Structure 1
């Protein structure tokens, strides 16, 4: 399965969001290891937020 293409398609359809408090947050897939931070940026046009320490 090509996770990037699937997530991008669903994001473009409005099913996934870039709002971190939403359960359909694209960033969750970075956490799960399905896409990279660079792919997150390609999908949302925003840099993946780095965790604060």
Structure 2
């Protein structure tokens, strides 16, 4: 899954929020998020569903 998310993010098909969704779904790790995006994962800023 990591490779697919990374390639899709680099191609511009996924946004930061899309990549965060994969972390929330436990399909990639927070470390994977940082590797893919170059930014720290911050769960506090992730929008929560009502």
- In the alignment, structure 2 segments of 5+ residues that lack a partner are 46-50
With normalisation by structure 2, the TM-score equals 0.82
Could you list the structure 1 runs, at least 4 aligned residues long, displaced by more than 3 angstroms after superposition.
none
How many pairs are equivalent?
45
With normalisation by structure 1, the TM-score equals 0.77
Higher relative contact order (Cα pairs below 8 Å, separated by 6+ residues): 2
RMSD: 1.3
More helix per residue: 1 or 2?
A: 2
